[in-house]
Amino acid sequence: MNESQPSHLADSDLPISAAHLHLYGRFWDVLSVLIFSFAAIAVLAAHANELTWREWAVAGLSVAQGALYLICIRGGGWPISNKNLTIYFVGGVCMWVLACWLNPFTWWLGFTYFGQMFGLLPLRGVVFGTAVVTVLIALIISNWNLKQIPLGAAFGFSFQWLGGMAVFLFIYGIIRTSSQRAELITKLESAQRELEAARQRDAELATLRERERLARDLHDSLGHSLVTLSVQLEAIQRLYKVDAEKASAQVDELKDITRASMDDLRRSLAGLRTPGLGERQLRDALQSLSVDVAQRAHLAIACQIDDAADQLSPAQAETIWRVAQESLTNIERHAAARNVDLRLGIEAQFATLVIQDDGCGLPPNPEDTPGHYGLRGMRERVEGLGGTLTLSGNGGGSRVDVKLPLL
């Protein structure tokens, strides 16, 4: 046989490696050729004392069957085409039947075709082909008269065919199951690659957003402050000649503006330096973030993190980390709050993050407000994992609710 599997199965679907499959096919190639050669030699040896044209014809037909195998099966490439299979089995069986009509000595070659059909034909072809070969074997050994077949022999042939079909169906089922598993594994590997590519795109998108945020912060805070300082310095330069005391007072104002600008710059740089979650545990990272923001912004932050938070998947942990980071940054900059409550709970099917403050609340439709890219980014991250994000509060503080499904 060649790579003896049903021709409708791809190599990747088979339960053995390609190298082992190749060796397996070569074994059956050699065995098949040896069987046909042995049949030719055996018929000549068995009738060595009385060789006639019939024996020479039977030997030639046996050799021709082996040659047909090499041409159609071995030389046809893999997978074997339906055309080559049809030519081989129809032509080979016809030559075998003709040889047996001339001299029934080689009737046993039918079992070779019986076995080859199991390895090379699809299910319907196996059922039909093996049934035909079984009937032909019975005809040949009964001298082409089925009525002369003993009842026991008829039962034997029937049992042989049914047993062969049972074994074939069992092996076919194993190969089919293996094929389905291989297809499923391929799909899972493809989904894993797509997920990894999506994570890389998400990381690149986060980098771009961070750049936009930093540019916006520097423009809105430091840029405006520098323009104010430049204008005020020019005014002070002229004012000193007229009213030095008033000019000195404006210098004090400039000091306050400079200090405020420095604070804004520190906050922007702190946000820039804040890395992704990386290899850190989510629970420790959230607690460290809460402590840093509380010290920097003079806030009282109550942080309650479930012990099971570190069991979340990397994508879920990164999303919760980014939402907490953005929320605390917004509270620090805009909320004018004094107290913040951060809670992360892990339930049977969901991870729930709640961040609440007692500040001035959120403006109407905060995500539609120009410049609020962080809120939209939070929602995209959460909804990208099948979760929900809810923003609430318009006067008595603000609240961020995140609910992520656990896979």
* The predicted structure's pLDDT at residue 162: 79
Structure tokens at 47: 């009738």
CA distance 118 to 125: 9
SS3 395: coil
Cβ proximity of 214 and 271 under 8 Å: yes
Kindly report, residue by residue over 215-247, the tens digit of the pLDDT.
766 665 666 667 677 777 887 888 777 877 787
pLDDT score recorded for residue 303: 93
- pLDDT at 224 (0 to 100): 62
Residue 352, beta-bridge partner list: 345, 403
Q: Where are the domains of the chain?
A: 11-149, 277-407
Structure tokens at 183: 């297809």
- The CB density around residue 324, as the number of other CB atoms within 10 Å, is 25
CATH class for the domain made up of 277-407: alpha beta
* Amino acid 291: pLDDT: 92
pLDDT given for residue 362 in this prediction: 82
E strand or H helix at 345, and its extent? strand 339-346
Per-residue pLDDT of the chain (407 residues; tens, 9 = 90+): 444 444 444 444 444 555 665 676 777 788 888 999 998 999 898 888 888 898 899 999 999 998 998 888 887 677 788 888 889 889 999 999 999 899 888 888 888 888 888 778 888 888 888 888 888 888 888 787 767 777 776 677 777 777 777 777 777 677 677 777 878 888 888 888 888 888 788 778 777 776 776 676 666 566 666 767 777 788 788 877 787 778 788 787 778 778 777 776 766 666 555 556 667 889 998 999 899 888 888 899 999 999 999 888 888 898 898 899 888 888 887 888 899 999 999 988 899 999 999 988 887 777 666 555 577 778 888 888 889 999 887 667 899 999 999 86
For position 5, what pLDDT does the model report?
Answer: 43
Determine the pLDDT at residue 278. Answer: 67
The reported pLDDT for the residue numbered 301 is 93
Beta-carbon contacts of residue 118 (< 8 Å; ≥ 6 apart): 4, 126, 130, 164, 168, 171
- What's the pLDDT at 276? 61
Cα separation of 166 and 156, whole Å? 15
